[in-house]
Amino acid sequence: MKTQLSGMYAALITAMNDDQAYCAERQKSVTKAVLNQGLDGLYVGGSSGESGLLNVDELLDQQQIVAETAQNQKQKLIAHVGAPNLRDSIALAKNAARLGFDGLSALPPHAYPFTDGEIIAYYRDLAAATDLPMIVYEVPVRTNRPLPLPVLSEILTLPNVAGMKFTSNDLFKFSQLKAAHPDKIVYFGFDEIYLSAGALGADGGIGSTYNVMGKLYAALNDAIKASDLAKAQELQSISQQFVTDLLEIGVLPGIKAIMHARGIAAGPTRAPLQPLSPQIDQIANRMATDPRYTPWLISA
């Protein structure tokens, strides 16, 4: 399982029409372009895909479109199915299993101050809903609550739980989890410091900027595997420069604007996320033609 699901995954964005309605046709084009960057797979329906702003029907349709588009590709598909309630999460999980996804993932429930026991029960029930391997998710920046190490360890021992997406700066906790659960796959979720976790044995990464810089992150992971520290540092530095520029206009609006500048219609983000604007387009166009980035950027 670890070998099958390890690697670098783009946290796929969701394509919209100009009026912010979900757009299946644009989703096909976006999915094809992201897949063509040499990554190991796609992480579908997560925060980078604006899942918190989509309804369940839109997420189900997105799973269908991505599965059909990737049907003849070798890349793996992981469906993020973490919804505000368990019933919707299970519906998304079962649909992904029916469509042939390779794995599932889910944010811990965070709409209320759930107890540790409730979070563990959520993952137990969701992991049992299908036969697909479950990737749990530690992301304090989204949940406003780091889960304690004993809770994460207990979740990792649940049946069908294959690993974790770890999006936290607590690299000591990351290392502790790796040491305690060597049979589990652990992805790292902060693009701009992937090298740090890669050096500590990350089994792969899942990131937003992989949507448009996937070639760079695939090369970064290869450099880490080859113990080529100088190359890995060079590539991580480019990633950090790119993220620094991207933060000026917002990560998700910026990614979509850069896609547009590269000939890929992804549409705007959905309100209340920042809408696209002439200022965003101007900076995105500059980034899309910056010689530091152009060797690594997505193509239509």
Structure tokens at 63: 């799973």
Structure tokens at 299: 């193509």
Is residue 129 within 8 Å of residue 103, measured between CB atoms?
no
Is residue 265 within 8 Å of residue 234, measured between CB atoms?
no
Annotated catalytic sites, by residue?
137, 165
Least Cα distance to 45 among 10, 74, 18, 72 occurs for: 10
